[in-house]
Each structure stands twice: as C-alpha cells, then as structure tokens.
C-alpha cells in the first residue's frame, strides 16, 4: 500500500450489482458531518502503483457493515485509476477541482502534487461550473430523487422525500459517500458521490452528477474537509506549467 487512505478489507464473494440508468440521480438530504483536516505533508512521491497496490486499492471492502464488491480495474482505462500527479490546477492545497471534459477530479496537495480520480458525469454533462464549497459530507447517504425525475419515471416515487428515500447500501445510486456542492449558501443540487457502476467512469451516461467508484469516493471523503473550496471547469483544464 502507498500512503493513501487505508481501507480495512475482508475477502468475500458478492454478486454483481444490477443498476438501471434511472437510478443515477443526485438529489438527497444530509446531516452535517465532522470536519476532516487536510493532510499536512508537503512532499509526496509520484510513482506508478504496482499491480499489488492496484489489487489492494480496488479490492472488495467492508465499510460500515456494507460489503462493496471489488472493482475490475483491469477493464478500466488506467488513466482513470486513482493516482498522485503533478498538480495541473494552480489552486491552493485543499481545493477540489473538477475537470469536466477530461473526466478527472483533483484534490490539490501541498508541495505541488494532487490526487487525481477518474469520474463519470451525467449524459448532459456536469452543467454547473464555477466556485463553491463542499457544504455537507455524508457517509452512506439516502437517495431521494427530485420531483422532476419522478415525473419522468413514476416508478421512483417510492424513493421520494415523502417516502423517506432509498436505504443506504451498495445498490443506492449515491454509493458509499456523497459530498454536496453549495454556492452562495444555496444547494446547487450537484454532488460528488460513489457508484457501483465502474464502467461509467470516464463517460457521460444516464442522469446524475459527478460519480466515482466507491473505493475512490471513500478515499476522496477522507481527504476533503467540510467547507472545502471546489472549482468546476467546463473547458479543458490547462496545466499551470503549459
């Protein structure tokens, strides 16, 4: 393992999770979590992960009583693996940066590096852009589809706000963690969240916000504090060294 967030693991066999495109919306409610400090280290190596490290990184994991299946990372484009890179954003440490066209999310670190994650976005793109804050952070959130989604897909009414939403779990579209983006004190209705749909990473499919595989969103959650600044780019992100 590298110095990244370590997850407790237990070997098990879990059937594949079947999800429909309808279960990819973002809107839900949350409770205020504790603050998580930004790591204080100032120098981190940038080295490719070994096969053993990748196996451990994307292995099956038990988290809060939920059994998350392993990610078949070898079927993914390697550029979307979680990895440390030279920071291309020029933002201050602790800032979250979403490169929508590139399908990347960065957490800027001290010392000129950033942790980079591959992400998937909704079919119509991650329309919001600009600056905001991660106002809420929620482990294993409930999913409550917005009313306009229910109007299009009435079968989702059983997960409405009035009905209490969908129970947390590996089949929940928000996955293992959700981070809620606010701007000027208002909920943008956009989230960064986990997903069991590993094949959607790097793509624009279904409805939804910015999603990461569950193993990556758990790692992201450990690195991003309450009220962290977030910057979302709709244009291609240009390296500060370019």
Q: With 80 as the cut, is the pLDDT of residue 50 above it?
A: yes
Query: What domains lie within the chain, and their CATH numbers?
Result: 25-45+72-233 (2.40.440.10)
Question: What pLDDT was estimated at residue 240?
Answer: 54
30 vs 216: which has the higher pLDDT: 216
Residue whose C-alpha is closest to residue 201's, from 80, 109, 79:
80
pLDDT band at residue 207 under the 50/70/90 scheme: low
pLDDT at 43: 59
With tokens 């099956």, the residue in question is: 60
The CA distance from 3 to 16, in Å, is: 30
> pLDDT tens across 216-225, in order?
999 999 999 8
Total-model pTM: 0.81
What is the distance between the alpha carbons of residues 78 and 95, in angstroms, rounded to a whole number?
Answer: 24
pLDDT at 10: 39
Over residues 95-125, the pLDDT tens digits come to 999 999 999 999 999 999 999 999 999 877 6
- pLDDT the model gives residue 8: 42
Task: Name the nearest CA neighbour of 219 among 3, 1, 5.
Answer: 5
Give me the mean pLDDT over the 69-81 stretch. Answer: 97
Two structure tokens written together for 184: 């000027």
pLDDT bracket for residue 145 (50, 70, 90): confident
- pLDDT tens digits along 148-204: 888 988 999 999 999 999 999 999 999 999 999 999 999 988 899 999 999 999 999
Q: Are 215 and 70 in contact (CB under 8 A)?
A: no
Where is pLDDT greater, at 187 or 45?
187
DSSP letters for 128-190: --EEEEEEEEEES--B---HHHHHH-GGGGGGSTTTT-BPSSTTSTTTTEEEEEEETTEEEEE
Beta bridge partners of 179: 137, 192
Residue 166 is predicted with a pLDDT of: 92
pLDDT band at 89 (very low <50, low <70, confident <90, very high): very high
């Amino acid at each position: 393992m590298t110095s990244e967030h370590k997850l407790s693991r237990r070997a098990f066999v879990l059937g594949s999770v079947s999800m429909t495109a309808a279960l990819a919306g973002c809107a839900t409610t949350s409770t205020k979590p504790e603050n998580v400090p930004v790591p204080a280290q100032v120098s981190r190596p940038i080295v490719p992960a070994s096969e053993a490290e990748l196996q451990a990184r994307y292995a099956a994991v038990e988290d809060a009583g939920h059994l998350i299946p392993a990610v078949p990372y070898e079927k993914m484009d390697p550029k979307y693996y979680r990895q440390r890179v030279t920071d291309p954003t020029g933002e201050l440490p602790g800032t979250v940066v979403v490169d929508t066209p590139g399908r990347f999310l960065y957490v800027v670190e001290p010392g000129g590096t950033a942790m980079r994650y591959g992400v998937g976005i909704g079919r119509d793109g991650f329309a919001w852009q600009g600056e905001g804050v991660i106002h809420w952070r929620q482990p294993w959130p409930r999913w409550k589809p917005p009313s306009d989604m229910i109007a299009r897909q009435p079968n989702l009414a059983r997960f409405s706000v009035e009905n209490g939403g969908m129970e947390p779990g590996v089949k929940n579209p928000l996955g293992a963690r959700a981070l809620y983006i606010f701007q000027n004190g208002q909920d943008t209705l956009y989230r960064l969240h986990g997903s069991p749909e590993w094949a959607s990473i790097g793509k624009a499919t279904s409805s939804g916000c910015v999603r990461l595989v569950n193993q990556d969103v758990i790692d992201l959650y450990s690195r991003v504090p309450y009220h962290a600044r977030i910057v979302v780019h709709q244009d291609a992100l240009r390296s500060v060294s370019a």
